[in-house]
Amino acid sequence: MEIGWRWDRLSASEKRVAEFLLEGKSNKDICGEMFLSRARVQECIKRIVMKTGAKSTRSAITLLAECRETLALLRVLERVTEGVAIMQDRVFKFVNTAFAEISGRTPEEIVDRPVLELIAPEERDGLAQMYGLRLRGEEPPRSHRTTILCKGGEKKEVEVASIGIVRYDGKPAILVFAIEKE
């Protein structure tokens, strides 16, 4: 579940301050809630801004919110029994265990690989066109059959349903479901 920066890079006190910031609390309110001095709270906020790579507290709060939403989404998608993948910039950013099992791989073997590497050569042009349509906001077919390349070189036919565009790591990405066809 690696995304641009990880929530778990924050210390326990930074996480609490971050949660309060997400709730819209002021520095003064955070001081009262955590029994910390104003200087200590400001130092925590500076570290949060630095660790998120944001340029301001406001942009750090936006990143925190997006990260929390993404992590919540990934936790849900991991439990789905059908294959689920998130693709961004023509690369797999997330696949659940069910998706990986279809191709005989682990999620770690798929994430960060180009999508087309797992697609049979004869299917790649058509899939690349549909991917481009979706990113331009046009409507490709909701579902289609394609052939994937499994770990051992075997080919499998799958039904792929494009659910739509989601935000992943602050950028648009495509969410798909895949079911092995027998």
Q: What homologous superfamily is domain 80-180 in, according to CATH?
A: PAS domain (3.30.450.20)
The alpha carbon torsion through 136, 138, 144, 150 (nearest 10 deg) reads 0
Say how many Å lie between the first and final Cα of the chain, rounded.
Answer: 30
Say whether 4 sits in a helix, a strand or coil.
coil
Where exactly does CATH 1.10.10.10 map onto the chain?
7-70
Q: Which CATH fold topology does 7-70 show?
A: Arc Repressor Mutant, subunit A (1.10.10)
CA distances from 173 to 51, 88, 97 (A): 24, 5, 19
Where exactly does CATH 3.30.450.20 map onto the chain?
80-180
pLDDT by residue for the chain (182 residues), tens digit each? 344 456 778 899 999 999 999 999 999 999 999 999 999 999 999 999 999 888 999 999 988 888 888 888 888 999 999 999 999 999 999 999 999 999 999 999 999 999 999 999 999 998 878 777 777 878 778 888 999 999 989 999 999 998 888 888 778 888 999 999 87
Lookup result for tokens 């590497």: 117
The model carries a pTM of 0.74
Would you say the C-alpha torsion 33, 67, 140, 84 has a positive or negative sign?
A: negative
